[in-house]
Structure formats: C-alpha cells, structure tokens
Structure 1
C-alpha cells in the first residue's frame, strides 16, 4: 500500500487540534424531559432574536461597567487619576446613568436568558473539549451577570442581609469578571451574530455557520406566517415589550435623581426630597454611633497644618466668614438631591494653618470610631475650589444631627460617601 506523502503532516495537524475532535455521544436513553428534541416548541426563539437582545444587553453592561469603574476610581484614586471639581453635577450624572442602565438591564437579561435557555439542553451536551470550554465560559458570564444585576438591585434597596460580603468590593471585582467573559463571548459569537442579522448572508462565513444562518433565516421568516402569528406574540412584539419594560423601569426609578420626574418614581427606593431638612440620609448619627460626641458641648473641630493648629468650637466656626453653595449630594446608590449649604470654605481653614490651598491635600476625619468611610481625602483641585465647604447649615438651618451636625464636608462633583459627616479633625498636608 502506498502511503500518501501528506499523511504525516495531516496526522500532526489532527493531533494538534485534538480539542476539536468529537467526543463519544452520550446514550440516546438520556433524551428525556428537557433533552427531548421537541421540548421547547416556542416559535419566538431564534438566533436573530437572541442577537438583538445580546447587542442591547452588551451596550447596557458596557455603560454600567465604565460608569462603575469611574466611580471606583473616584473613591479609590490611583496616583495618575485626577477627577475635576467642575461641573458640579458630573458625578451625579454618571452614577445616575450607572444605576439606570443597571435597572434597565433587568428585563433585557431576563428575556435574553429565556431566549437561550433551550441551549442548556442541546444534544449532545458536549461535542468536544473546545465546546465544553465554550459552554463553561458562558456559564461564567451568566453567573457574573446575575450576580451583578441582583446584587445591584439589593444594594440600591439597601438590603444587605442576602450578601455576606462587602457589596462594593464584590461588585467591583465581579464587574471585571463579567466584562472579560462578555468580551470572550462576543469574540466567539460575533460570526454567528453577523450571520443572523445580515441579509443577504455574507459569503465569507465558514460553511457550517453559513448553513446554520440560512436555516435560521428560514425559521425567522416563519414569524410572518399567519399560522405562527395566531399562536401569540411575534418576535417583534417580544422585542417591543422588552424595550417597553426597560423604559418603564427607567422612568419609574430615575426620578430619585432627576427632580422633575420624582413624581413618577414609584419604584425608586429613595425620593430626593424625603428626609430631614428635605435631604435623604443613608447613615444616621445613631447608626454611626456619634450622637453623644456630636452633641457634646465641649465639641471642638481640630485643624492641623504645617504652620499651626486650630481648635474651633461651633461658635468659633460660625464666627468665620460664611459662604453658601447649591450642591448635590450624589449617592453611589443612584439617588441625588440638591441643597443649599452654608459654612466655612475649606480653603480658608487650610490657609489659617499655613498651607497653600492650591497645592494641599487634606484628610477629613469623622467622629466615628470606625468604619470604611470614617475619613476621606480631599485632593488639591477640591481643596482650592471655593465651593468646597465645611458646612454648618443646610437650607438656612443648622445641620440636622443625621446630616452631620455640627460640621460636615460638602464638595462639588464628589460621591456622597466621601462627603464626610460629623467632622472631628482636619489634617492638612503638602502637595501630592
């Protein structure tokens, strides 16, 4: 027998691509229940429908990831990151968009998972090692997406009992996992999505995927068949209903940060005008354990700097030049509220202890004994900003105890968790 001259080369190629070799098929007796060929007869499911839902969900997740990453960088800035103090509403906008797109993705994710649910029961379950790896990566993506969406909803509802971990840390790291898994999924599925959405079929697709796309096109055309239409909702109707659900969720929640829509915010966990002095509160004085210290007549605000030290009681703080600014409190949970704050400019206090406000980094410490946000760092661009105040009043009234009485930080374009309340000490450093 004559051996073909290319046989050794073909053998090496076959061995090099072992992960694509088909695995032995499982026994046919397992094809029961959801593994039956006709287990999912709905005519609404199609690759084209799934592709459209995937694009919308990918855009929503992309916006969520970028705005969430921005919020993380503002709260934990690396040395190269600088967040401006103006415009004063920018963080309010980015975090509002983050929460709004996260909530809008709830119906998108639900319908997307419904559209691909039958693929969990494809036959055979695993065709090759490469196919098994692809299915595992999809499992990671689904798990990460559900973790992010469910955790985000629990966070804005302030229901932390089901989460035995610090939400912010978990949300951040799983966000990276979801983003990476999504990019891998897009890379794998891009030819399939292109084929499903293209009319006519692009000629440069692999033959197997081209055949699948043609078959899918035929199935998609069945949606226009009157016999199919009589069965219920069309695919276009399903997409419309999904978009309407996402829009309805947005309209009924975004009012917690957009005041003109607050009357429509029936699903929002926060209202921007509900709380002491018409400003919402996350952490109360009792919750922080500072009520006694904040109301103590011997209270003093300590200001330490390179050129001196100050110890100021409430009367002394009120005797300093007072300034007023209209600034929003923008919470990482998505709600925000604008209020009129009055107090002493941080730049004035920094100058009184011999530092240059234009170059000084300031550490603001709360009376809280412990806590992740008991202190915050104010960078030079905020220290020198005339709108950055050590606020003593809101709306013309002395601060309510839950808003940080006797003194709190309020600065433009800054997350609410960094607007330190119940200030006990200000440490002024030099340039960064």
Structure 2
C-alpha cells in the first residue's frame, strides 16, 4: 500500500433481497402482524420452522416438475455433504413437522400459522424477490369444505384488516382422485396434438396442468381451447366445491370462479384459490393456496387431507402503496424526552422506563445536544409529545410537556409526568 489510505468498498445487500428500513418498515410490520393476527383470531397456533430442510422434502412434496424445484431452489451441500435447501415454501416443512412430532395423532384439525422469509432464485423485479416474506396457515386432518371456506376467509380478513381493498379472490377446483386421472389423460391427448417445444412436451408428460400455467403468449394461444378441470369434476368434487362457495357466500366473502387457474405447486387438489391485485402489474398475485389431500401420505405420514395458504407480505406492502394506503403510523415513538443536564437525563430515563412499562413508545435525546438540536430530534421522531426537563425544572419539581403538533406547552408537576402523559395519549391510543 502507498501512503494513501485505501478506501474500503461498502457492502450491498444480495441482489433481489429488499431491505425494510425505518420509518417505512412500520408498514411491513403492520402488514405481517395484521395477516398473522387474522389467523390467530381463528384459532391457528404459531409454528416456527427451520430456514433450511432436506432437499428431498421439497423435491417430493412440491413436485419435481415445478419451476420451484427444477429452477428456483437454493440448494447446497453442507459440511456433512448432505444436500439441504433454503425453504422455497412453507407447506412441506409444516407437514414434515406435523408427521415428525405426531401432531396428527391428536385433536384434528391441526391448525397452525407461520411467518418469515422464503427463498427462490428468480430474476428480481418489483414484487418478485429472491428472499420473499410470507404469512401462511395450514389446517390438517379434516376434509371439510367449511374448513376450506374458513381458510379463505382468514386470508380475506387479513388483507382487509391492514386496509387493502382493491383485490379480488379467484377460486377454482382441481378435482380429486376420482376425476383427475381421466382429466389428465384428456388434457394430455389435447396437448400432444399441439406443436410443443421439447421442454413443454416433457412438462406435459410429467404434469400436464403445468402447461396451462405457461405465461408465453404463443403457448397460451395454443392452449386457449384446452379442456378444463372444472368441466370434468366428479360428483363428489363438484359437491365439495359448491359447498365451499355456499359458505363463502354466507360469510360475505366475494370471489370470482376462474376455471383456468393453475397454481405453481403440484400438491394442490380440490379447492384452489388466489388473491390478485391489478395494481401490481405482472406480479399481481398477493397470496393463494388450496387443498392438498395426498401430500401427507406422500411425505410418509397418514393419508390425511389439508388446506392452507401463503400470503405475500412484500406484495401486500406494494399493493397498499399502489392504493395510497398507510396501515400504520411511521412514528418511531409517541413521546420524546429532552433532558438539559445529567440529573435531568437520569430522571427522564426513569420516566421513560415507567411509560414504556405502560405500553407507551418513548425515546430520549442522547449526546448532550442543545435545546435546538434536541427539539429537531423530537420533530424527526414523529412523536406526539415532548417532555423537556432542565436543572431549574428539577429544583421546582416541574417538567415541560409540549404538544409537537400544535406547539402548545405547559409545565406540570414532575411527580405526575407519567400519569399526565398517559392521560393525554389515551384518547388516541
């Protein structure tokens, strides 16, 4: 090196991984917590899952013909030369945990919810990230169309609870084991009569439904007249779907039937759904899910049915921005303490602790700034109130209480500071 100090290049986040920073991160937290609260209100208990699992779990559970498994998984060998994969979705991991810990041997249905990051190697764009944040639920062990409707209603309630309104619910049925084999054969006969490229023809052999999900215009044009599962449902699958719709109608959950819907994972059967927001452009799906009646047995467990969803926190945040809705205050705190002197700082620290214990968000001015600089910090914090305390105030047993919105300021007894602040905030808390 020369005498000049070499400048160290700063690090950047991995491509396709968003940062959520204050104050905007308040929206992210409000969305995640709002979607989760809707699940808790319906009796779903929290489950915490590993970030990575055995690769075979996803290959078998999600489906080797899916883009998720064949193209998008983050898979690597650990130090024990075991193949592990960062979780691309939540259902397979939940099923593994339910089987491993014998939750399916107790009261049914097993109802759990989860949230956190999931990973898919995709080309990054708005709403499509390599680390995506989701809230999910699974209800396992009971094949009841009323439960399907409940799961869908929980998702609908979650979106509405955070202020989202401009979305629609699309609903279909992918049939059951009594009608899917015949439909599969019918669809393959149709597809093999088309001029498909080699990759698409191979997909038609493995899982023909996946071809109907192809986004390329020329493939969509060729498959426009393909037979649809909704037109070939068995009587039991038709009754199941009609009952789901009747429950949604009774609960006032609006939806449209989309007979061409195909979800991106292989395990879906019967009820299948997606929430769509047209304000997001190409990445319009904000969440979805469905029933997966054969998945547990496929992963080594009992032949029990299940239904669940995954809701995109990232895309919900973008959808709220498209609607101009802010679901939560971006203020870091409600009260900002401004001490003038070491004794005042000590006393304000005690008051701050008392208020925080009462559920009030409080910050203090640190670094011994002057009054002007400290009050600038109070304004930037977004707080509604400021507590200003100096040595003379301590001697007089008083403290300044300032409304930062109106500028109105008064002196109150120091001994009543905590009670007076709580009383002032209570009408809007």
TM-score range, shorter chain: under 0.3
TM-score by length of structure 2 reads: 0.21
More helix by share: 1
TM-score by length of structure 1 reads: 0.21
